[in-house]
Amino acid sequence: MTNTPRQCLKVLHTADVHLDLDGYIADPHTRRYRDIIHQAFSTVIDLAIGENVDLLLIAGDLFDSNRPSADVVEFAIQELRRVGRPIVMIPGNHDCINTQSIYRQVNLPGACPDLLLISHLDGERHQLSSHNLVLWGRGMVEHEPAYRPLGGIPRLQGDAWHIALGHGFFMADDVPSYRSSPIYAGEIRDSGWDYLALGHCHAFSNVSQGAVTAYYAGAPGFFPGVQGADGHVALVQCEAGESRHIDVRRIDLRPMVNAALEQRMG
């Protein structure tokens, strides 16, 4: 690992996109929600380009199931190809790496040259030397209490930025693991990593512990007419220098998504 000084780094963090919502398509509310979800993903890509980020992170559940239609898979590929910068993604509980996984059926990284899909069950560590950045994540076969999204996260090496992705439930240290895919506060704190990009919780939330910055980006999609916590992404600014600093800003996608849908309908 090189000890090259860190560069400033701008990252867009999203998760829980849920393309091709697995619901009753004849229901008008489901159809409307699907339209919002797909436009929200396009808006995420627009934002990554407009903000000129260095990296796009997708912390699980790009697809709502392992049965997306061919049209939706093609839509996802075309959107990912627009990004024009590195994309790092892990599977979630909806699109997990089981024998029927969409990622076994479709070679998404082959179709999207900028995409790194982290799927190994024991975890994968990658280095993006152009940004002096180390990345880590794990694949998920089954959403169960025995699965630990941060299990096996390696120790820091060198002076690079260290960013990990995980998909699961945040839990306090003294709570038994009755929930599937638990992410304990102590695991976050003890990792020592700079930023943990989390998915599974659809609400934007700060679960930082000690010196480790950790956030759920929330889901970019949202229910129409409902004042909820969905409809957000996290814009992460990693500031280099003598004292490193990470600033995380919540971006509300709902005005942009609604405006785009209205323009399409008009």
Q: What is the pLDDT of residues 136-155, one digit of tens each?
A: 999 999 998 889 999 999 99
Alpha-helical segments (H) within the chain: 28-50, 70-82, 102-105, 108-111, 185-191, 254-265
Q: For the chain, list the domains and their CATH numbers.
A: 9-265 (3.60.21.10)
Question: What digits encode the pLDDT tens for the residues 230-264?
Answer: 899 999 999 987 778 999 999 999 999 999 999 88
Alpha-carbon dihedral 172, 245, 215, 120, rounded to 10 degrees: -90
pLDDT of residue 81: 98
- Report the distance separating Cα 213 and Cα 255, nearest Å: 27
pLDDT of residue 6: 65
pLDDT of residue 13: 98
- For the chain, the residue count is 266
pLDDT of residue 25: 54
- Please, are residues 22 and 64 in contact by the beta-carbon 8 Å criterion? yes
pLDDT of residue 208: 98
Structure tokens given for 75: 């839509």
pLDDT of residue 4: 56
- Report the distance separating Cα 32 and Cα 42, nearest Å: 16
- Report the distance separating Cα 11 and Cα 5, nearest Å: 18
Over 80: is that where the pLDDT of 226 sits? no
Question: What digits encode the pLDDT tens for the residues 52-109?
Answer: 999 999 999 999 999 999 999 999 999 999 999 999 999 999 999 999 999 999 999 9
Could you tell me the pLDDT band of residue 227, with boundaries at 50, 70 and 90?
Answer: low
Question: What digits encode the pLDDT tens for the residues 165-217?
Answer: 999 999 998 777 678 999 999 999 999 999 999 999 999 999 999 999 999 99
Question: What digits encode the pLDDT tens for the residues 12-37?
Answer: 999 999 999 765 455 666 778 889 99
